[in-house]
Amino acid sequence: MAKGDDAVRKKQNKVKRKKLHNKNDRSSSAISARVASIIAAKKRRHSGKRRKCQGMCFSLPTLDDPFNDRNVAKDFEKKATKKPMVSHKHENVFLNEKSKETLDTEMVDGPAQKKEMVTVLKDGLKKSLASINTMARRSRIDPGNTKTQLDGNGGIYGHQGKVCENLDCPSKYLIQCLNAIENSLRCDGTYDNEEDKPLFVSTWGVEFWKCYSAGKDILETTGTSSTLEQIAWMVSCVADSVSRKDEEGLSVTSPFLLFLVPSQEKATKVRSVCKLLKALGIHTVSIHPGASLDHQIEGLKSSEPEIMISTPERLLELLSLKAVDLSGVSLLVVDGLESFYSKGCLDKINSIRQSISGKTHTVVFNDCHRYACVRVVQNLLTGSVHRLSLNSSFTSQSACIIQSVNMCLLKEKLPKAIGVLDQAYRGRHQPQASKVLYIVGKDDKYRKLATALKFKGYSITSDSVFTEVGNSVEMKGRTRPAVSMIDIDQIGATDFSEYECVVLPDLILSIDSYVQILTRMARYSVNGVLHSFFTREDAKLAAPLIKILEQCGQAVPEALRKMSSS
């Protein structure tokens, strides 16, 4: 090489190094600390250029090729895979990847065609969002039951105490995540929807998004563990929240989502959905006994995942070694209580929940009606909850409501009905007021019961349209529950959703009325209790009542079984 060419080459290399240095300075100052740490970790791993022909061999720079330009991997042409056809009724909803590629290749010859391409994409996106909004409004969602807290300007208060954007439909980024998951699952053949509807028009998903945006805890009472559709909606909402925080310059805790699963097989299923969002910047780790503990500890040190999928046993081992920090978890998902109960992991779930500090949004998939599982749900969901379900059976609607059947003599009904209220009041650990409802007959017992309760200091109202009543306060500052009283003719016109405790002093109802009360009470709580008092005069209702108790997984008194058999 001539001397003049050598000098020119050195000057060019110096300019390139200077530009590269300035570029790194600008990029490091413009990104968040979390993204900078990920980039640094990648640079440490990729310290050399890997050649495809030599597997794990790396080539180092030389004097003749200081930037390793000779070993840059070539872009091989990939054979286009055939994608499943989408029905014509969804053409305006989807932005098909193939159509986007066609626009990119056919409309980039000149500035005018570039402008035309942008216009077409914007029009397609507007039609997509309009279709989402229309189908979400047509879905069977009752906005009145969501109890969304609004501010004066129509915004929604999020679970961090800030006002979120008031949207009629999910954000564009959330739709992008759902479409990416659905396209991949359809290509693999793992997603089979009989109704051939896109993920983002799912009734369950839209309802979940509303509750998640409002910061409500969710109790899923379908009776099964999470499906692919439900997992896709949950992780997409998490990805949308992480993206919003990054745009606002806020720090994102790691992990943001903790997904508790009972087995390694379930962890693999959840991860198969979460890993599809890796291209969008959402990282996932799966922790289970199938891998060595040391390997998982090293992996957690070198990564900051937004989503963590774990079994309770292995997660408690990592917590004992202080290898993971759960103090900043924003969303906790407990999937399938029946499997956790059969493996004896309910206490471990409570221990994990106690290690999470701060306000956490909790989702529980309750497929177990046992009393032990109800206590775990009550420990996980301590505030107001929203119930989601894909079926309308009475066993699903009455989940986490305890049915207490008290066997007694006829003359003992009134004292025991009063004693139930005293016992429930003394057993409350929180000094807040709860609403109690008595359903009585049209006789003198109603007046005696009301007089006895007023004598004990309870406030009582006996109107079918209930208003707020002043609660009586004791010297210790605890508030007695407000007591309402109706007769059996007012059952159909009464809203039972806010009553955690319903007492039936006389079981003079039909079984249909009993089921109606059971499935309509305590809609925003997991502490519902339905008390009923059974005597020998009610023996004709013993058999159907036993059937209901057994289907709901409730305890059946032995005296009630004997009465039914006799």
Domain boundaries, the chain: 172-391, 400-565
Helix (H) or strand (E) holding 267: helix 264-274
Give yes or no on whether 172-391 and 400-565 have one common fold. yes
User: Would you place residue 110 in the very low, low, confident or very high pLDDT band (cuts 50, 70, 90)?
Assistant: low
Q: What is the mean pLDDT of residues 69-94?
A: 45
Checking if the pLDDT of 156 tops 60, the result is no
Res 549: pLDDT: 92
First to last CA, the chain: 110
The most confident of the ranges 41-45, 82-86, 119-123, 307-311 is: 307-311
* Residues contacting residue 224 through CB under 8 Å, at least 6 positions apart: 336, 365, 367
Q: What is the mean pLDDT of residues 253-282?
A: 91
Residue range 400-565 forms a domain whose CATH class is alpha beta
Q: What is the mean pLDDT of residues 126-136?
A: 51
| CATH dotted code for 172-391 | 3.40.50.300
Strand-pair partners of 401 = 528
Tell me the per-residue pLDDT of 518-560, one tens digit each, with 9 for 90 and over: 999 999 999 999 999 888 888 888 899 999 999 988 889 998 9
User: Would you place residue 410 in the very low, low, confident or very high pLDDT band (cuts 50, 70, 90)?
Assistant: confident
Q: What is the residue-wise DSSP string for 333-377?
A: EEE-HHHHHHTT-HHHHHHHHHT--S--EEEEE-----HHHHHHH
Checking if the pLDDT of 441 tops 90, the result is no
**Strand, helix or coil at 56?**
coil
Tell me the per-residue pLDDT of 185-242, one tens digit each, with 9 for 90 and over: 888 877 766 566 788 888 899 999 999 998 899 999 998 899 999 999 999 999 999 9
Helix (H) or strand (E) holding 207: helix 203-214
Pairing of strands 49-50, 58-59: antiparallel
Helix (H) or strand (E) holding 21: helix 3-30
Tell me the per-residue pLDDT of 468-502, one tens digit each, with 9 for 90 and over: 334 443 434 445 667 888 888 888 888 999 899 99
Find out whether 273 and 235 touch, Cβ atoms under 8 Å: yes
Single-letter residue type at 549? L
Instruction: Give the whole-angstrom CA distance, residue 234 versus residue 165.
Output: 19
Tell me the per-residue pLDDT of 226-248, one tens digit each, with 9 for 90 and over: 999 999 999 999 999 999 988 88
User: Would you place residue 251 in the very low, low, confident or very high pLDDT band (cuts 50, 70, 90)?
Assistant: confident
Q: What is the mean pLDDT of residues 140-153?
A: 37
Tell me the per-residue pLDDT of 288-337, one tens digit each, with 9 for 90 and over: 988 888 888 888 888 889 999 999 999 999 999 989 989 889 999 999 89
